[in-house]
Chains A and B, each alone.
Chain A
């Protein structure tokens, strides 16, 4: 007796079970479980690799996103094995994706920019940076935004999209930094003496580096003053304090040596003689 007949006769109502292609079902389940297993492996690998150069939470999000995308592909493939066409679902999902893409454009942009920032690492927590005209110390870099505390102590949140597109000025990336300023002395003063006074102050400062050697020279014979350019290199961490101390010490030393720092002066010449009236 044929098995179909037996099923129909002995267990009425479950005949449809016989119509199922069990081999296909097994293949689909095989595709599903193997796919999910491989997706899990890929998720772990992505997490372990990315955690070396990204914060843990970002690595976790990235690995999860990749995992769920792979699981969706595996599920669609498994349904495909069963002969179930999900084209309509994919099209609907695609349309939904486009709608969400437009709606969450800035969120997505910030997210992707955040990933690229973690990859490129133009700044790290603790760096003193200038981003988009804002100067401050970096206190947090998250997947959506970067937070800096300005020099006045105010917290500034900058979306990662802006950080990614902005010109970032990050002096903390280098270990040494140059200080550059001009000291103007009057034409009446002894320029050589002034040069020696400035040089002595510069060389005496512990944080003015021996190499690269300090560079001090007369840059310009200006309208009101002889301009002496001072260029010195200092450890980046000491830049601010050294700049303050050098300017102050040079000013004091020049005063003590009787060297005048002039204010802008202009000689006026009158084409015709001036008439002066005296009131009695």
Chain B
């Protein structure tokens, strides 16, 4: 069987290599599929699907593995950014993703499997009483659109509304209003544009804008992370 590399979109029967995992889709009868995920030669997950319209491999929020415990994602920048008083700039930042296998029937889908692409870590943002738990990721900064395999790219616009220099070392994102997009047939993933308005040297608010790349498709959000009807900004009150 030919091994195929990771590409987002519709899945044909066969075997795919996804990071250190192998995902196998085999037809075992009419409208029946056997799905297996291997790490090395060991089967780590096996599912049988009865009745389906299409199967898709899509990038998904890094919130579902090893266990869903938070909506928040804290990106700590490997390179801190100094921003002059009253100025505005933009950069591109890595957003971690996992890979999900969706099975559809009449536009209704279920998440068959979520394949983690990196070692998960969590952090406390704020204090134990008033703060929040967030998924942690140490993110690189880019100055132009650079698709990264196994990651999503976010455009981050930074606006310093204070009268002093500020240093930005991290970004807190709520994954519910965050939207993940993919370019079908490629391994490119993106989020929408994020706007970080800095109100003081230690506080900011993060807004969620529109996509900044064309020819991309949004993923269907898993039930835990459906977009709220009213999208509010995310306040960063315990340091930026």
Contacts and interface: CB of A to CB of B under 8 A. Distances in A.
Interface of A: 173-177, 204, 206-207, 209-212, 233, 235, 237-238
B122 interface: yes
Nearest to A235: B133
A46 to B, nearest CB: 31
Contacts of B40: none
Interface residues of B, number: 17
Q: Is the interface of B mostly helix, strand, loop or mixed?
A: loop
B123 A209 contact: yes
A176 B124 CA distance: 7
Contacts of B121: 206, 209-210
A174 B133 contact: no
Nearest 6 Cβ contacts at the A-B interface: A174-B128, A210-B123, A206-B120, A176-B128, A176-B124, A211-B123
Interface of B: 66-67, 69-70, 119-125, 128-129, 131-133, 136
Contacts of A177: 128
A245 to B, nearest CB: 12
10 contacts: A176-B131, A204-B119, A206-B66, A206-B121, A209-B122, A209-B123, A209-B136, A210-B122, A210-B136, A233-B128
Given A206-B121, A212-B124, A233-B128, 14 more contacts: A174-B128, A175-B124, A175-B132, A175-B133, A206-B122, A207-B122, A209-B124, A209-B136, A210-B121, A210-B136, A211-B123, A235-B70, A237-B69, A238-B69
B138 to A, nearest CB: 9
Given A206-B66, A237-B69, A238-B69, A174 B122 contact: no
A207 B67 CA distance: 10
Contacts of B132: 175
B122 A173 contact: no
A175 B122 contact: no
Contacts of A204: 119
A86 to B, nearest CB: 53
Contacts of A235: 69-70, 122, 133
A249 to B, nearest CB: 15
Contact of A173 (B119, B120, B129, B131): B129
Contacts of A238: 67, 69
A211 B125 CA distance: 8
